[in-house]
Structure 1
Amino acid sequence: MPNWMRTIIQKVTTRRIIPIVPGIVVIGIAIVARLAGLLQLLELKTFDLFLRLRPPESMDERIVIIGINSADIVAMGGDYPISDRAIAELLTILKEYQPAAIGLNPRRDLPVEPGNNQLKKVFEESPNLIVAEKIVPPRFYAPKGIPSEQVGFTGYPFDADYQARRGFLGMPDPQEPEVPEAYKFSFALQLARVYLQEINGLSLEKGIRDFDAMRFGTTEFPRLFPNSGGYANADGGGVKVLLNYRNNPKSFRTLSFSDLKTGNLNPDWLRDRVAIIGIVDPNFKGTLNTSAIAGLNPPGTMNGVEYQAHAVSQMISAVNENRTLLNVRSEGEEYLWIVAWGMCGILLGRYTRSFKKNLIGIGLATTALISVSYVLFLEGWWIPVIPALLVLIPSNFACITVSYYDKTMRARISERQQRIDERQHLIERTFNIIHNGPLQTLASILRRTQDKNLSQERLLLDLQNLNREIRAIGDRLEGEILTQEDSLYLGSQLKFDLNQPIHELFYQVYSITLERDLPYFENLKIKSRNFDPILNCNLNSEKKRVLCQFLEESLLNVGKHAKNVTCLWVTGAYRDGFYTLRIKDNGSGIHPKAEGRGTQQGKKLEKQLKGKFKRESLNPRGFLCEFTWLT
């Protein structure tokens, strides 16, 4: 892999991916926790809360509860189980009011004399009667001789917190699971079937969208699966639906046995209604818990006959009034929803610039999540709220923490790198000052000494100049570097303002450098120089400095190395937005492959100004040093 590609990948990984990794880990943990069922209780409690927060609903007058309380039991003889004669009397009176369907919830599997034959006769004469049985332990079955279409099983698929949120529609007979004919329908479904057949002329059929579901007409009841909604590995036996309880603590009219016996009621309350007979006395078993309805008395508790009434009401209301049936999305869509909110938290944490803005953003996102979830719930869709919150807020916090840490570390690294660059820059500029000043003077002294062309007086003068140049370096650094002056020093004390146009600076560098005491400058017969001005020059002081130093070093190389030189051409040409600085001589200079200070400066200029540096020998003799850049 090329270095440039590796560098890009490293930068993208460091700046883009690493800060979001903790947020992705949070999303993964939340999904695993949900799959393991660790969030089930919180999701179910949220489900109950949304049910309680719905707008209040009116009483469903199609469902009437015939509640048997302790006073009624006393009036029926004072014994429990209630005798068959008392039940037969109750059914006979109730039939006179012509209800569409009658549900008998109290247990009737064994005869309770007196009156068993009387009760059997009533059963035979009541085709709209549904008798309850219980097919899961502890079991009890309907009396023998009653047709299967008049029998419905009761049962409450409790959740882990012993709350009732689901309802049965049907299941195979646990005693004969392999026999299709042994399929059982629930007590509530049988009552709804009888009512809808009588009033609407509708029959129970298999589903269309889901063949294993059940429907009346075009209303199909969505099945509940073990991992539907907030459930995780819930009991999957039988066909179940979510119960959409009516949001009213008094959802159904309740009459007592005494009301029926004395006629203390309006006959229209029962005509063409569903009448469900059941025990409502709190001293008897059969109560269950639910947090879905506010205002229950006692709080969070209802008896079994009320539960059955809500289940029947849900089916009839969905068919006749299009009342919402609670449904869930597919597992894939639910987890996509969770991931989307997690990514929302990550993006807020990644791109909000301040803690205050992030707090406002996460507050708005949380409000939006809850609001959208509630509105969808009102439309019948139960979607994950708790998992989405658990990825939205923690992923945001994790991303903020890592981003802050990453930003802090990068700032420290950047600060450290800046200090290193400043030190390196200081070293380079110091070397340039020494190289173009004292070292050039020293090289001239050494050359004249080797040629034995230097008198003692001249040597002493040159050494004194060298001493001054060395001592002046500290002052130059203080003025040029430490105080960040826009200035350039040439020679020992000459100082130029870098705010001048670059072509004027080139003229000054050219003129001052050729006055330096270097051996081959004395041989020059022809000196040509011309520097075009640069239009719309965008060079800062530092770039001007390095360009001037490049020109100075190139000229110094002519003075030091260009043997037999007689001509020097120095030009700065501006063409089509490009500027070319060219130093050309006809001497016999150093080998073109030798890399000195000038070559190093040229290569550095290539990176700094994104230009092109060229250094080559000319035929038959001479040397060219050239740098071109886009202005």
Structure 2
Amino acid sequence: MSIRRIGVLPGIVAIGFVVAARMLGSLQSLELAAYDTFMRLRPDEPIDERILIVGINEEDIQKLKAYPVPDREIAKLLRTLQSYQPAVVGLDIYRDMPVEPGHKELASVFKEMKNLVGVEKVLPDISGMTVKPPPDLPNEQVGFADAIYEADWTRRRGLLGTSNLQDEWRFSLSLNLAKIYLKEKQISLGNVTNDQYGMSFGVTKIVRFLSNSGGYISADDKGSQMLINFRSNSNPFRVVSLEQIVNRKIQPDWINGKIILIGMTSPSTKDYVLSSATKNQAPPWIYGVEINAHITSQLISAVLDKRPFINSLGEFWEYLWIITWAVIGIYSARKFSFPITILSLIFLSYVLLVFCWWLPVVPPLLILFFHGIGTVFAAVERENESLQVRIQERQLVINQTFDIIHNGPLQILARMMRQVEDNNQEMSPQQFLLELRQLNQELRGVYKLVKQESLIGGNNFYLSQERVIDLQKPIHEVLNEVYLDVFERDFPGFKTIKINVVKFEPLNERNLNIQLRHKICRFLEEALCNVGKYAQDTTRLEIICKQNEGKNIIRVTDNGLGINQVSDSSHQGFGTQQALTLAKQLGGEFQRCANSPKGTICQLTWSSEKILQWKW
């Protein structure tokens, strides 16, 4: 397996797995967590001084000794605020029923304040309940306080417009506050062409949330929603208490011409949600009035300051972004440090979100991670395969070395021992010395032959230091050259031969690799050497290499002293074992049997269709 395939295959598998998981929505929670983290890490923005939050906190409730806050206290608060001439006031407290004492006073204030916006709840909750608006406020001065919660009960989206149970289109409190504030600046709220839920302030189009925006998959996008671009600051707005307003412990310019939001900031009222996207101090929650402040600030800042909405790419471009990073990861895994790619992805995704572009970061990260793991496993597997190959190559070298030693020095030693042991023959000192010299030469040639074969990798077959055969030639031609070389050797069995029958015809070489060719050559060399060394009084030698009935046949037949008459055990030694192993690899058969009336038949047969696919 090539390095390129090792790098590409895990990447392709990772892409398919992660893309499928994303389409099924399995990665949404991870993507939202990454989004929240990036949102918290953004550089700090300045406080939006156009908005003031009047938070009725726990101390206020303790001093009033009443909850809900009585209408009289709300009326007193509103009149005090109105004396400072705010641009608009949002009362983020339900007042669908009287909370005595002081209901008449509050009703009077509702009728007097034309820049006041109250709240209602238009979408039924789990129990099917809704909350009606304050009865003394006209519809244009009422906005809903309904919110969209995620599965983890966090707020990332703002609902700006929706239909109530009577199928009437209603605006949110935040949108109404921004609408009134911007109207004084001659900027009005309008519709968007070809989008029944789209809205804009002048030329500034509100980027509407869609079901697959950013990291969301098939989310509920009913009504007119937008992603909340929380102001990046641990204290994004100025917050004062009810007591500070009523006792006028504030600066007039905090209120004059500003947007005022009144709501509960006491933990006991439980008007809060957990937040992961804002830089809140502990405890990690954000009050409902603060979220409305963020949404209102987002709307007016987009119009007046060109502060962008959170944007996302279309689905096609998001998946192209994911696959592009996967390709970069596959490429970088081969070219430079893989962690650099991961860090680059995270940094670029963060920078893009700072500029209000939310692109998927978890899917490409997972692809890079899985690709990295897959590449490591593939590399380990390749290393194991490489180790096996090296072991097999070393084993092959060992076998080849033994072949060379067996067919050279060991055969000379065997011949010398046979002559010494044979009482009918005497070896002269000169002949003995000649044999020793030949043995010395053969031993010195072993190293060179083994080195040559191991370096060239078996493409050539070495019969001796001087004789090299190209194994890529037709096998019958190679075998003929083996026969010619061996028959020239000074073996006693060859000296008595009078009839030599030789036939080398083309064989079926299908599935015959270099290693098998090498072994077949060694087989013929071994068979011929055995005749020359052990077949005494041989007068006829027949060497056949042909095809017969779909089978390849290599047969060496002599009429010398047959194997049943030979006491030497070398015939059942390493050479025989090699021949049996070769026959198994070829899917064929090896036979060594007696010839009639005397002699030996050594035969190897196989069919090219049955050759085993061995790993070399």
Q: Give deviations 1:197-232, integer Å, cap 9, x for gaps.
A: 113x11112236966332212322222233322233
Whether 2:137 is the aligned partner of 1:153: answer no
Q: Deviations over 1:485-513 (max 9, x none)?
A: 999xxxxxxxxxxxxxxxxxxxxxxxxxx
1:485, 1:83 → 2: CA distance?
A: 104
> Which residue pairs with 1:327 in the alignment?
311
Note the C-alpha offset of 1:421.
8.5
Contact 1:93-1:260 within 8 A present in 2 as well? yes
Q: C-alpha separation between the residues in 1 aligned to 2:450 and 2:212?
A: 73
2:8 paired residue among 6, 9, 20: 20
Structure 1 residues 480 and 283: CA distance shift in structure 2, 3 A: same
| Aligned residue in 2 for 1:109 | 96
2:259 is the counterpart of 1:294: no
User: 1:223 touches 1:240 (CA, 8 Å); kept in 2?
Assistant: yes
For 2:440 and 2:45, the matched residues in 1 are separated by: 91
Which one of 116, 119, 129 corresponds to residue 129 of structure 1?
Answer: 116
Q: Residue 231 of structure 1 aligns to a residue in which SS?
A: coil
Look up the match of 2:566.
none
User: What is the CA–CA distance in structure 1 between the aligned matches of 2:162 and 2:264, rounded to whole Å?
Assistant: 25
* Contact 1:344–1:392, Cα closer than 8 Å, also in 2: no
State the distance in 1 between where 2:439 and 2:227 align. Answer: 87
Q: Which residue, out of 367, 374, 382, partners 1:406?
A: 382
Q: How far apart in 1 are the matches of 2:209 and 2:440?
A: 87
- 1:157-176 → structure 2 map (5 Å cutoff): 157-173=148-164, 175-176=165-166
Report what 1:518 is aligned to. none
Structure 1 position 284 matched with structure 2 position 269: yes
Q: Helix, strand or coil: the match of 1:374?
A: helix
The one-character-per-residue Cα deviations of 1:510-543 (angstroms, maximum 9, x if unpaired) are: xxxxxxxxxxxxxxxxxxxxxxxxxxxxxx9999
1:250 to 235, 254, 260: 235
The equivalent residue for 2:78 is 91
Distance 2:51 2:389 in 1: 74
Partner of 1:224: 209
Counterpart Cα distance in 1 of 2:397 and 2:196: 73
Q: Whole-Å Cα distance in 2 between the matches of residues 405 and 548 of structure 1?
A: 34
Partner AA of 1:265 in structure 2: I
* Inter-partner Cα distance in structure 2 for 1:258 and 1:243: 30
Quick check: 2:119–2:134 contact (8 Å CA) kept in 1?
no
- Could you say if the C-alpha distance between residues 406 and 548 of structure 1 is closer, same or farther in structure 2, counting changes exceeding 3 Å? closer
Q: Name the residue aligned to 1:569.
A: none
Asked if 2 retains the 8 angstrom alpha-carbon contact of 1:156 and 1:167, the reply is yes
Distance 1:95 1:485, change over 3 A: closer
* Structure 1 residue 17, shift from structure 2 partner: 3.7
Deviations 1:110-136 (A, max 9, x none): 133444444334323333221111123
1: CA distance, partners of 2:323 / 2:361: 12
Q: Which residue type is aligned with residue 142 of structure 2?
A: V
Using the TM superposition, give the Cα deviation of residue 172 of structure 1 relative to its aligned residue in structure 2, in angstroms: 2.0
Whether the 8 Å contact between 2:40 and 2:232 is mirrored in structure 1 is yes
Q: Match for residue 29 of structure 1?
A: 17
Instruction: Indicate the SS of the match to 1:213.
Output: strand
Query: What letter is aligned with 1:340?
Result: T
Shift of residue 243 of structure 1?
Answer: 1.5
Match of 1:81 in 2: 68
Which residue of structure 2 aligns with residue 40 of structure 1? 28
- The answer to whether structure 1 residue 375 and structure 2 residue 324 are counterparts is no
Partner residue in 2 for 1:58: 46
SS in 1 for 2:176: helix
Cα distance, 1:16–1:285 mapped onto 2, change above 3 Å: closer
Does residue 186 (structure 1) correspond to residue 177 (structure 2)? The answer is: no
What is the deviation of 1:479?
4.3
* Superposition pairs of residues 341-356 of structure 1, within 5 angstroms: 341-349=325-333, 351=334
Q: Which amino acid aligns with 2:278?
A: I
1:165 Cα deviation after fit: 1.9
Identity %: 35
Alpha carbons of 1:477 and 1:407: their partners in 2 closer, same or farther (altered >3 Å)? farther
Structure 1 Cα separation of the partners of residues 83 and 16 of structure 2: 63
Distance in 1 between residues matched to 2:18 and 2:202, nearest whole Å: 41
Q: Which amino acid aligns with 2:378?
A: V
Structure 2 residues not aligned, in runs of 5+: 409-424, 426-430, 453-461, 472-476, 488-500, 508-513, 518-616
The match for 1:512 is none
Pick closer, same or farther for the CA change 1:295–1:88 going to 2, 3 Å: closer
CA distance in 2: counterparts of 1:542 and 1:239, whole angstroms: 89
1:311 matched to 2:295: yes
AA aligned to 2:447 is L
Which residue of structure 1 aligns with residue 559 of structure 2?
Answer: none
Match of residue 446 from structure 1? none
> How far apart, in 1, do the equivalents of 2:209 and 2:256 lie?
34
CA contact (8 A) 1:163 1:290 kept: yes
Q: 1:306, 1:272 → 2: CA distance?
A: 19
Q: Which amino acid aligns with 1:245?
A: F
1:391 aligns with 2:367: yes
Matched position secondary structure for 1:102: strand
Aligned pairs, how many?
472
Distance 1:486 1:163, change over 3 A: closer
Of 320, 324, 343, the match for 1:340: 324
Mean Cα displacement is larger for which, 259-268 or 542-551? Answer: 542-551
1:541–1:194 distance in 2 versus 1, CA, 3 Å: farther
Q: Deviation of residue 22 (structure 1)? A: 3.2
Question: For 1:469-492, what per-residue CA distance to the aligned partner results, in whole angstroms no more than 9, with x for missing partners?
Answer: 9999866654445324999xxxxx
Cα deviation for residue 107 of structure 1 reads 0.7
- One-letter amino acid of the structure 1 residue matched with residue 181 of structure 2: Y
1:373: Cα distance to partner?
1.1
Distance 1:424 1:319, change over 3 A: same
Sort the Cα spacing of 1:212 and 1:421 in 2 relative to 1 into closer, same or farther, 3 A.
Answer: farther
CA deviation map 1:569-619 (0-9, x unaligned):
xxxxxxxxxxxxxxxxxxxxx99x97599xxxxxx9xx9xxxxxxxxxxxx
Q: Please say if 1:483 is aligned against 2:448.
A: yes
Contact 1:346–1:399 (CA under 8 A) maintained in structure 2: no
Q: Which residue is 2:182 aligned to?
A: 196
Normalised by the length of structure 1, the TM-score is 0.63
1:18: Cα distance to partner?
A: 6.0
- The change in CA–CA distance for 1:473 and 1:278 in structure 2 (over 3 A counts) is same
Residues of 1 paired with 2:437 and 2:77: CA distance? 122
Look up the equivalent residue of 2:107 and give its one-letter code.
K
Distance 2:36 2:469 in 1: 77
- The separation in 2 between residues aligned to 1:331 and 1:264, in whole angstroms, is 52
Pick closer, same or farther for the CA change 1:46–1:249 going to 2, 3 Å: same
Distance in 2 between residues matched to 1:74 and 1:425, nearest whole Å: 99
Measured on the aligned residues, the alpha-carbon RMSD in Å equals: 4.7
Query: Aligned letter for 2:381?
Result: Y
C-alpha separation between the residues in 2 aligned to 1:548 and 1:327?
A: 69
Query: C-alpha offsets along residues 398-438 of structure 1, whole Å, 9 cap, x if unaligned?
Result: 11221331243145336636865996899799999xxxxxx
> Residue by residue, what CA displacement relative to the aligned partner does 1:444-483 show, whole Å, maximum 9, x if unpaired?
xxxxxxxxxxxxxxxx9xxxxx999999986665444532
Counterpart of 2:244, as a letter, is D
8 Å contact kept, 2:94–2:134:
no
Deviation at 1:267, TM superposition (A): 1.9
State the SS of the aligned residue for 1:170.
Answer: strand
Letter in 1 for 2:271: G
Cα 1:205–1:541 shift into 2, 3 Å: farther
